[in-house]
């Protein structure tokens, strides 16, 4: 590895002056947490005695929170319903300093809400309220207008696709044109089985399943060593040709990441997680940290390494989590 703590600290020092726009599916995550000490007499299910409840921004909103937690400036662009959940989501984002100027309200859909019931640090069930979203012509035109205005003052852009309907080809094309005109990086966190032309993006961060799906290849069992995983490397080459990114970062869970660039040998970055309690939102942390670091002047390898350490921090927490600069630096060794 090449990243020293002092270099990471210097890059992190640039984060407060960098602004990232996150475009994608905005959601509200609710958590109901409690304990279990008996099984229901009505059905073979646990009875959860509730201790606490909380609501936090989720989906693409969580990517913006990761940027804010790392001291960067963040804005979100997406569509929410004209309902209490949408108003709560907007309020929570504003309270965290996230700009919502590019958020559009649409009365035809409810705001997406995901409720997780957690007992004894284990998720018992998840309950989703959502409907597929399809743009009306006027809504799409207004959304694209706001995108262009926001990208004109951004230092980086993230396309965060959860497959709920916000990320469509017209939106991708508008974002890429505006970002190219500004000369700012564009990161893609893709959704499997969602075909888009994203040629020319700066970096993409699919997980292994998403990478195989996007490449149209049946997923195989992982090899013990990613650099010796012939199927994975083949998929990486397919995506390099298909998406034409400057960097392809395939996240591999406990195996870390595989980095691929055109004309270079793949690089394996081992995981930096010390313990894993919950992987929810780890991908959000990776894309947020990587694009923010790149906007701050990090090389691709440095950005990947910083993102890898940040992911190691959040998977040791319960629920959709974020990482602070102090936590990130304390996770890193003095010398590497």
**Which residues fall within 8 angstroms of residue 181, CB to CB, at 6 or more apart?**
none
Q: What are the angstrom distances between the C-alpha of 252 and each of 10, 104, 249, 275?
A: 28, 34, 9, 16
* Residue burial 245-260, b: 16+ Cβ < 10 Å; e: rest: bbbbbbbbbebbbbbb
Q: Where are the alpha helices (DSSP H) in the chain?
A: 5-12, 60-69, 84-95, 137-151, 169-182, 208-215, 230-243, 282-295, 300-314, 325-331
Which member of 128, 229, 284, 326 is catalytic? 284
Residue with the two structure tokens 């600290």: 9
Residue 26 contacts residue 59 (beta carbons within 8 Å): yes
Q: What are the angstrom distances between the C-alpha of 242 and each of 163, 217, 248, 250, 300?
A: 19, 13, 11, 15, 20
Give Cα 125 distance to the centre of its chain.
Answer: 22
Residue 59 contacts residue 160 (beta carbons within 8 Å): yes
- In eight-state DSSP terms, residue 138 is H
Does 278 participate in catalysis according to the annotation? no
Q: Where are the alpha helices (DSSP H) in 29-168?
A: 60-69, 84-95, 137-151
Residue with the two structure tokens 């640039």: 14
Give the residue numbers marked as catalytic: 284
């Amino acid at each position: 590895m090449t990243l020293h703590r002092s270099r990471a600290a210097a890059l992190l020092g640039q984060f407060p002056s960098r602004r990232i726009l996150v475009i994608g599916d905005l959601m509200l995550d609710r958590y109901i947490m409690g304990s279990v000490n008996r099984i229901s007499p009505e059905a073979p299910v646990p009875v959860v005695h509730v201790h606490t409840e909380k609501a936090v921004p989720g989906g693409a909103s969580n990517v913006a929170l990761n940027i804010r937690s790392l001291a960067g400036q963040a804005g979100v662009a997406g569509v929410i319903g004209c309902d209490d959940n949408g108003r709560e989501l907007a309020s929570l984002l504003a309270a965290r300093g996230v700009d919502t100027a590019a958020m559009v309200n649409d009365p035809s859909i409810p705001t997406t809400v995901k409720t997780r019931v957690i007992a004894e640090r284990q998720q018992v069930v998840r309950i989703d309220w959502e409907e597929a979203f399809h743009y009306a012509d006027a809504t799409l035109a207004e959304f694209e207008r706001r995108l262009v205005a926001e990208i004109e003052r951004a230092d980086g852009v993230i396309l965060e696709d959860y497959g709920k309907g916000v990320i469509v080809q017209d939106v991708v094309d508008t974002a890429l044109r505006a970002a190219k005109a500004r000369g700012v990086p564009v990161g893609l966190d893709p959704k499997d089985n969602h075909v888009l032309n994203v040629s020319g993006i700066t970096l993409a961060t699919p997980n292994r399943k998403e990478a195989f799906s996007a490449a149209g290849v049946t997923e195989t069992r992982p090899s013990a060593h990613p650099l010796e995983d012939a199927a994975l490397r083949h998929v990486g080459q397919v995506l390099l040709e298909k998406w034409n990114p400057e960097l392809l970062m395939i996240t591999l869970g406990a195996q870390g990441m595989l980095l691929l660039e055109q004309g270079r040998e793949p690089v394996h970055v081992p995981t930096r997680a010390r313990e894993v309690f919950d992987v929810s939102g780890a991908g959000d942390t990776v894309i947020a940290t990587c694009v923010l670091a790149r906007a701050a002047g990090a090389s691709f390898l440095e950005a990947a390494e910083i993102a890898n350490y940040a992911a190691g921090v959040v998977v040791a927490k319960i629920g959709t989590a974020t990482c602070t600069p102090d936590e990130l630096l304390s996770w890193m060794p003095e010398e590497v």
